[in-house]
Amino acid sequence: MCGRYILVQKLELIEKRFNVTAPGGVEWKPAYNISPGQVAPVITSDNPKELQLFRFGMTPFWAKKPMYMINARAEGDHNKDDDPKYKGAKGIITKPSFRKPIRSQRCLIIADAFIEGTVKEKLSKPYVVYLKNNVRPFAFAGIWDEWANTETGEIIRSFAIITTTANELLQKLPHHRSPVILDKKHESKWLNQNMPLADVTKLLKPYPADLMNAYPVDPAIKNPRAEGKDLLKPIGERVAPEYDVKTTEGLELQGMGSGKNFEL
């Protein structure tokens, strides 16, 4: 699963990177531990030129009460053993909660990195997982829905991150799932509402493991209310050696957040 992620970019940089505009009143501050229930930036297929803030944890439109579906399995009810070699059907297209959004309510979920635990220890043994070569921000493949509270009239727009089989890096943690990270050239395709469903599901695959890395961080990040860049300080070695980037205690992010360097 992917239940925590990081986005510390300034709003202006997000707008430039994704060629979108944030409406007046939309603000974003560096977030080092985005957790279910928090709002975060997305770009939706029905409004691809605007940056919006939706709640993390999707409530389907038909739900009787608020729900927090943070992930949507690409395989649906298939691959229950999370076999990393699974190449079968994408059951997401038939799941009641996901079959409508995967067809017409897709979104880009903007992130700099994500936080993942191990299979057994979960977030008691967390890792920060990032893309190499300073590829950030990037976009998870997501789906969204709109739910109306019949008692109060409140409208909640919320999203879920699509997950798929674990690539080789995630397997080393070990973890059994990977969030779907879109190649930059596929982001506009993901938002294209006219793209055939078969082409949509072809994008639901693990990101290349050789373009990713991870390092362990303090379990304090397990607390969803925990915040601050100190959460991202490495407490051990990277999962895979890196020789092509400058390293100190961690990987430096340039020109992000307050404009000062910090470790990710």
3-state secondary structure the chain: CCCEEEECCCHHHHHHHHCCECCCCCCCCCEEEECCCCEEEEEECCEEEEEEEEEECECCCCCCCCCCECEEECCCCCCCCCCCCCCCCCHHHCCCCCCCHHHHCEEEEEECEEEEEECCCEEEEEEEEEECCCCCCEEEEEEEEEEECCCCCCEEEEEEEEEEECCHHHHHCCCCEEECEECHHHHHHHHCCCCCHHHHHHCCCCCCHHHEEEEEECHHHHCCCCCCHHHHCECCCCCCCCCCCCECCCEEECCCCCCCCEEC
Residue 2 appears among annotated catalytic residues:
yes
Residue 107 appears among annotated catalytic residues:
no
Given 2, 107, 187, 263, which residue is catalytic? 2
Under 8 Å between Cβ of 190 and 42: no
Given 75, 116, 187, 263, which residue is catalytic? 116
Q: Which residues of 120-146 are buried (b: 16+ CB within 10 A; e: fewer)?
A: eeebebbbbbbbeeeebbbbbbbbbbe
Catalytic sites, residue numbers: 2, 116
